[in-house]
Amino acid sequence: MKMMFANRSANINGAHHGIVVLLMSTVLFMLACHKDDDVTHPGPGGGTGGPQLPAVPFDYTTVVLPAHLAAALTNDPLIDNTPADNPITNAGATLGRVLYYDKHLSVNDVTACATCHHQDKAFTDGLVVSEGHLGGQTRRNAMPTVNARYFRAKKMFWDMRADDLETQVLMPITDAIEMGMPSLVGLETKLAGLPYYPPLFEAAFGDATITSDRISKALAQFVRSIVSVNSRYDDGVATGFVDLTPEEEAGRDLVINFDCVECHSDLTTVVGGSGHTFLVVDNSGMNTGFGANNGLDLNYLDNGIGEITGLAQDQGTFKMPSLRNVALTGPYMHDGRFATLEEVLNHYATGIQAHPNRGVQMPPGGLPLNAAQQAAIVAFLHTLTDEALATDVRYSDPF
């Protein structure tokens, strides 16, 4: 009798188990068949921890420019520093995006390019100086990797020591503080061992061979694709700035009248007097005879470009950044000494030092800006923020 009841119980339990399995299988089948165009799919290789990439690559080649920016680039195409042998492609920039966010590019798998360049901070990191793969501090504040494409002089870093973007993107990888890879050959071998990279390299370059030259080109393509051209200021150029508040409009006038545009915009529109792009920076930071120093100190521990050129005229000079998204990129200056835009404006109003290489626009002691005028300039600078940049999925972390 015990055996009969035991068999009956086993049959019932078995049937119940079979029903559960059937129901689970049906649910999983229905979920698998459900199609959602917004869902991303595992990237090539499909390994655990690999990138999640869209089935159809994002478009990195199309840049829709406001009319005034399109005109500036049409009239002066050399503003765009994209080299003929490395045009942006969707597959190349996709690979570059994966490389940019991949911590495997550091020797101990803890640091990526994006560690020091956060999308929500206009691709800076919000720190005075950045933290490297072992916790050490970098020498300088992280520059934004936005609109690097639109820099005629091509040179990169605060001291402009890299001749172009293709050179620059590899240098942090082998830097002892930043990412610590002992060699680029070692990086090639490491990436070849990750299953998602060979298909990505094949899509971008025609075969799966992984070389440092291809790593450089893909990273440069992705960085050049990070373009920020949509702000309230850009809308205002087309409408006569009717949507700016009186304070913002006053700030715009002050930025023009105090010649801020000579160092932070293109010289064509500076001469023209209106429609400043705030996209291009023609005065790169090199001292061409009119000064390029902004009077932070009389004596610099870090002499910037002067350390590279060895020229007296370049001591204490640094690459001049664009003001686009400047409200998102603090702390400010090469050493991150100013936490806020208000502190920056206070320096220009009260703290300019009489350095021999300071710009001709920089009177010792400061510019005649009162508190209300400083506040107006800060208000205007906020109109240069591209709100969509922080959430554009094309530039987001794929891991």
If one compares 230 and 18, the residue with the highest pLDDT of the two is 230
pLDDT band at residue 49 under the 50/70/90 scheme:
confident
Q: Report pLDDT for 268.
A: 79
Q: Is the distance from CB of 117 to CB of 389 less than 8 angstroms?
A: no
Q: Which two tokens stand for residue 248?
A: 């913002």
Q: Is the distance from CB of 237 to CB of 161 less than 8 angstroms?
A: no
Give the whole-number percent of the chain exceeding pLDDT 70: 87
Summarised one tens digit per residue, pLDDT across range 319-344 is 999 999 999 999 999 999 999 999 99
Model's pTM, two decimal places? 0.87
Q: Which residues contact 215 (CB under 8 A, 6 or more apart)?
A: 99, 169, 170, 184, 187, 188, 191
Q: Report pLDDT for 275.
A: 76
Q: Which residues contact 374 (CB under 8 A, 6 or more apart)?
A: 342, 345, 346, 349
If one compares 372 and 272, the residue with the highest pLDDT of the two is 372
For the ranges 42-46, 175-179, 186-190, which has the lowest average pLDDT?
Answer: 42-46
Q: Is the pLDDT of residue 312 over 70?
A: yes
42, containing H or E segment: strand 41-42
Q: Is the pLDDT of residue 31 over 50?
A: no
Q: Report pLDDT for 297.
A: 97
Q: Report pLDDT for 47.
A: 38
pLDDT band at residue 272 under the 50/70/90 scheme:
low
Summarised one tens digit per residue, pLDDT across range 67-112 is 999 998 998 999 999 999 999 999 999 999 999 999 999 999 999 9
If one compares 238 and 164, the residue with the highest pLDDT of the two is 164
Q: Which two tokens stand for residue 24?
A: 């689970």
Q: Which two tokens stand for residue 89?
A: 């492609």
Beta strands in the chain (DSSP E): 41-42, 52-53
Q: Report pLDDT for 269.
A: 77
Residue range 184-210: mean pLDDT, rounded: 98
Q: Report pLDDT for 270.
A: 74
Q: Which residues contact 347 (CB under 8 A, 6 or more apart)?
A: 295, 296, 338, 366
pLDDT band at residue 274 under the 50/70/90 scheme:
low
pLDDT band at residue 56 under the 50/70/90 scheme:
very high
Residue range 153-181: mean pLDDT, rounded: 98
41, containing H or E segment: strand 41-42
